Structure 1
Amino acid sequence: MHRVTRVDADASSPRATRPLSTVVKALALLDFLAGSDGPVRVSSLARAVGASRGEVHRQLVTLEAAGWMEQLPDGSYRLTLRPAHLGHTALRQAGVAERTAPLLAEAARACGEVVSIAVLDGDTARVVQRAEPGRPLRATLLPGDRLGLCGSAAGRLLCALAEETTLATAARRGVPLPPAGDLAVIRSNGWATSADEAEDGIFALAVPLRREDGEVVAALSVHGPQERLTPTGALAVLRPLARRVEPLLRLDGAAFGMRA
């Protein structure tokens, strides 16, 4: 969740400029819709952001006129594809793809499976970068894909290593989270596996990417069929890869477009 904090500064400082509350509120609507599974009605949006229906409707009409939103025949609203373009552009400008692509591609070829980076994005883990070995695969994962926090290796890892306030906020919103016992094991191990591999035959394992101060900002994962990929083999690929990736990335939340 984006936070706007008050900064006490000298009037001559650029930081003394107050943010436009109307813009902040409109962006909050975009954030909420980005985390929704489908179109949302004005009344639901108003309850979610704590504003009146009239105010929310004006914001939606403005966003629609700007090309960020579209209204469906039943009166509900959904995002257009414009935010997706902005997101890909932001990742490119941050240098994430450029810096990680060669290393991820090298690792994918070495292990013969999909390798990816995901970040905690609201109520899911969002894939921001991936590489594949260049042959047909059973495991399909694309940038922008959202992974569950309970079933996916990346989601489980990011939950286990997230701040307690982040987990508490998600729990209050009713977001399904892994059991406390599972989170404790993941924290102890320093890595996580997917919880649903028995259902689709795909195994995944994730390790953290950390800032210099130790804060976890992303999950580095490898995905493949159970018969080919084991925890020992996955860790042999991911641990040295993480040590090479971390110094190359600008490891801060803004670089990954993170939302807690």
Structure 2
Amino acid sequence: MADRTPDHPRPPSVAGKVMAILDAFAVGGVRLNLSEICRRSGLPLATGHRLVGELVGGGFLERVPDGTYRIGTRLWRIGSQAPAMTGLRELALPHMEDLYEATHDNVQLAVLRDGRALFVERLRGARSVPVVTQVGATLPLHATGVGKVLLAYAPEEVREAVLAAGLPRHSARTITDPGELRRCLERVRRDGFAFTRDEMTLGAASAAAPVRDGRGAVVAALSLVTRVRSADARRLLPPLMTAARALSRDVAAHWRSGPVDLGFQTDEPGSPSAGRKAAP
């Protein structure tokens, strides 16, 4: 039997077990072996083996040659129809494509979901620095450029919850001190952008800017990720800020035209636009 932790109690129903298996991939593991899946989902090895096999047969998971598993194309097609993957993504893609053509660096778009940064789109080329980002995956807020922007403008209770949960170290330069992170978020609100360097991925630096709706609330974050050894990351700011402002204008126009579902217009606690209040 795979080991289980108190944070992952055994799901009580078949549906719960299947959801627990799929949710094991939501914490950033692109490929997991069977033992990792069972440990994350809190399932016995025999049960996990049976259900993972059925999910592979249905196309919801894929087994790769090295024996690990990843999200299958059928689940990806279903997930790509979620509002956060459609309305906002469609508005953002033209601006992201222009931004990529201007910089040839990784271009990323993320929204706040469940205390993490959910990536709804990413553009990269053969020369772009390798990053851990995957569309539909989540990364921690405190260690990413988009995450710092989303956290800086999130409701206070969201920031406090993230700080209280602890700040895991992902590299030698990850900010793990709550006081230091608070000061960093204050700078983001003051300057209107965020920088990271070697905090999530060694050798990568990022610049991120907020995307706002018609009332000024921050609903997403747009970023560029480049190599640390390249020119000063501040060179990314002019094209990034231009693209973020242009996308904000498009979002605002849709917001004013009526109740358009852009994937982030929700009153759920923790939403970046919860309560529809303008960000500070």
Task: Answer whether contact 1:147 1:154 (CA < 8 A) is retained.
Answer: no
Q: 3-state SS of the aligned residue for 2:23?
A: helix
Task: Answer whether contact 2:151 2:159 (CA < 8 A) is retained.
Answer: no
Equivalent residue number for residue 129 of structure 1 = 121
Deviates more, 1:80-89 or 1:28-37: 80-89
1:184 CA displacement: 2.9
Alignment of 1:124-203 (within 5 A): 125=117, 127-130=119-122, 138=128, 144=135, 152-161=144-153, 163-164=158-159, 167=162, 171=166, 174=168, 176=170, 178-179=175-176, 180=178, 181-190=180-189, 191-196=193-198, 200=203, 203=205
1:30 CA displacement: 0.8
AA aligned opposite 1:80: G
2:206 matched to 1:209? no
Cα distance in 2 between the residues matched to 1:211 and 1:91: 16
1:66 CA displacement: 1.4
Evaluate the alpha carbon distance shift between residue 32 and residue 92 of structure 1 in structure 2; reply closer, same or farther with a 3 A threshold: closer
Task: Answer whether contact 1:149 1:178 (CA < 8 A) is retained.
Answer: no
Which of 19, 31, 35 is 1:38 aligned to?
Answer: 31
Q: 3-state SS of the aligned residue for 1:155?
A: helix
1:168 CA displacement: 5.6
1:32 CA displacement: 0.8
Structure 1: 5+ residue runs without aligned partners?
1-19
Task: Answer whether contact 1:222 1:238 (CA < 8 A) is retained.
Answer: no
AA aligned opposite 1:30: L
1:26 CA displacement: 0.9
1:155 CA displacement: 3.4
Q: Percent identity?
A: 23
Equivalent residue number for residue 61 of structure 1 = 53
Question: What TM-score, normalized to structure 2?
Answer: 0.58
Q: 3-state SS of the aligned residue for 2:183?
A: helix
Which of 72, 90, 95 is 1:103 aligned to?
Answer: 95
1:193 CA displacement: 0.7
Structure 2: 5+ residue runs without aligned partners?
1-11, 256-260, 272-280
Cα distance in 1 between the residues matched to 2:160 and 2:45: 29
Task: Answer whether contact 1:158 1:218 (CA < 8 A) is retained.
Answer: yes
Cα distance in 2 between the residues matched to 1:75 and 1:203: 33
Cα distance in 2 between the residues matched to 1:57 and 1:161: 42
AA aligned opposite 1:233: P
Which of 98, 105, 109 is 1:117 aligned to?
Answer: 109
Evaluate the alpha carbon distance shift between residue 227 and residue 211 of structure 1 in structure 2; reply closer, same or farther with a 3 A threshold: closer
Deviates more, 1:177-186 or 1:122-131: 122-131
AA aligned opposite 2:74: R
Equivalent residue number for residue 223 of structure 2 = 221
Which of 242, 246, 258 is 2:251 aligned to?
Answer: 246
Equivalent residue number for residue 7 of structure 1 = none
AA aligned opposite 2:166: A
Task: Answer whether contact 2:61 2:71 (CA < 8 A) is retained.
Answer: yes
Task: Answer whether contact 1:118 1:219 (CA < 8 A) is retained.
Answer: yes
AA aligned opposite 1:182: L
2:21 matched to 1:29? yes
Q: 3-state SS of the aligned residue for 2:32?
A: coil
Cα distance in 1 between the residues matched to 2:26 and 2:218: 23
Task: Answer whether contact 2:112 2:220 (CA < 8 A) is retained.
Answer: yes
Equivalent residue number for residue 237 of structure 1 = 242
Task: Answer whether contact 2:30 2:70 (CA < 8 A) is retained.
Answer: no
Cα distance in 2 between the residues matched to 1:164 and 1:227: 29
Q: 3-state SS of the aligned residue for 1:128?
A: strand
Q: What do you get for the CA RMSD once the two structures are aligned?
A: 4.7
Cα distance in 2 between the residues matched to 1:150 and 1:98: 27
Task: Answer whether contact 1:151 1:195 (CA < 8 A) is retained.
Answer: no
Evaluate the alpha carbon distance shift between residue 171 and residue 33 of structure 1 in structure 2; reply closer, same or farther with a 3 A threshold: same
